[in-house]
Chain A
Amino acid sequence: MKILYCNCTYAKVVPLEVKKDVLRRLSDSGQAFDAVADLCDMSARKDPALNKIASGGCTKIAACYPRAVKWLFHAAGTPVPDEGIKVLNMREDSADNIVRELLT
């Protein structure tokens, strides 16, 4: 199981306290993870790094709306598989719930 955290660096649409809290607890957890500055930016650049994230088994992604994340990957030419990807929405959900989902 891989974990990907999106910092949504280039816009203030994810509540700051939620994303910082999630990052802090992920950082303290002893869990391995990948963190990207901004998935939208990577999608716009069709960054091949998205491919390595999308492929290779189960992944939990802490970012924003699942519909947005799904089509951002698709727009970059690296569609995520229907199975094995779980997107957690930091725009709507609490840090507690996100971290619980990430770490279990």
Chain B
Amino acid sequence: MTRTEGKNLRVVLYEGPGSTRLEDDERFQTLSTLLDNGFEVTRPVAGQEVAPADDAPVLVLGLLDKHPPATPGQEVHFRSLSDGDPLGAAREVRETTGARKLEAWKPWFPVIDFDRCTNCMQCLTFCLFDVYGVDKQQQITVQNEDNCKTDCPACSRVCPEVAILFPKYGKGPINGDIVKEEDIQREAMKVDISTLLGGDLYGALRTRQRDARKRFSTERDESKALLERKRCLSKLKKDLDIPDEVLMTLPTAEDIEERTARARAKLEKRQAKSQTVRDKQATTTDWGI
């Protein structure tokens, strides 16, 4: 997921005094085009309520008779639809004002339903991409939305309370649909990864690797090993709906062992160094006596 920062340009589709009313088709096409290209649009009508103005730049679009005076304290631009197409005008003003540029992206990130969340931290433990964190109150929070892998809803699968939503997901209840009792039971059955793997994911990976080595060292059939790996990955993908991209970035058992070995070597080196210092101090003391 890549997101861009900055304020959005707010387009006001104006049809009040000092302008000519738009034809219904033109109004709809203008609205539709602007929204499909990521702009926010307000259609004000006298005497009716819309969201109040803020400090975001504003473009007033309409069949304007003349350019009204600028509103003090606000960055307001006026363009008449008779002068050109609305999308061109919106893009031009966006450039001028430095408003947020739009990029094709899918806003994909977990949203926590705190009515359901029990703060069990399974999502934090499970996610390999550091999407989750805890706040000052030790409450689970989504802290790195950008790290989330588009189309991967795996963490919502491991949530025993069905408390993690991905609003752009296709199916319920992950998409935000009402959570039914059968959803809770289904999720509980298939999601308890630690139970499925005997309580220790890395331990299970090591056992699996050891068994595989035994098996394949006698068979000496690498293609079989590859097929077995593919079969397991396919099963994981099917069970948790994990995209290929994410599976490809999972550390292998070898990676994990290598990291552990490196950490262990570092620790041993540090311990040895401390011991040397202690020995040296002891010797100095003896000498001093």
The A-contacting residues of B in range 104-142, CB under 8 angstroms, are 104-107, 109, 111-114, 142
- A96 on the interface (CB 8 Å rule)? no
Most chain A CB inside 10 Å of its own CB: which residue of B24, B36, B169, B176: B176
Using Cβ atoms and an 8 Å threshold, which residues of chain B touch A27?
24, 27-28, 31, 43
Asked if residues B142 and A38 are in contact (CB atoms below 8 Å), the reply is no
- B243 on the interface (CB 8 Å rule)? no
How would you classify the secondary structure of chain B's contact residues: helix, strand, loop or mixed? loop
Asked if residues B167 and A48 are in contact (CB atoms below 8 Å), the reply is no
Asked if residues B54 and A71 are in contact (CB atoms below 8 Å), the reply is no
Q: How distant is the Cα of A92 from the Cα of B142 in the complex, in angstroms?
A: 27
Q: A35-B43, A47-B8, A49-B8 are in contact. Are A28 and B111 (CB under 8 A)?
A: no
The A-contacting residues of B in range 44-71, CB under 8 angstroms, are 44-45, 48-52, 54, 56
Chain A residues bordering chain B, tally (CB within 8 A): 47
Specify which of B4, B43, B106, B176 is in contact with A33 (CB 8 Å cutoff): B43
Q: How distant is the Cα of A11 from the Cα of B32 in the complex, in angstroms?
A: 15
Return the CB mask of B183-210 against A: 1 if under 8 Å, else 0: 0000000000000000000000000000
Asked if residues A31 and B40 are in contact (CB atoms below 8 Å), the reply is no
- A2 on the interface (CB 8 Å rule)? yes
Return the CB mask of A57-86 against B: 1 if under 8 Å, else 0: 100000011111101101100000000000
Interface positions of A (Cβ within 8 A of B): 1-2, 4, 7, 9-11, 13, 20, 23-24, 27-28, 30-38, 40-45, 47-49, 52-53, 56-57, 64-69, 71-72, 74-75, 91-92
Interface positions of B (Cβ within 8 A of A): 1, 3-5, 8, 10, 24, 27-28, 31-32, 35-45, 48-52, 54, 56, 104-107, 109, 111-114, 142, 145, 165, 167-170, 172, 175-178
Additional A-B contact list (9), CB under 8 Å, known A34-B51, A72-B111 = A24-B28, A32-B42, A49-B8, A52-B52, A65-B178, A71-B112, A75-B112, A75-B142, A92-B177
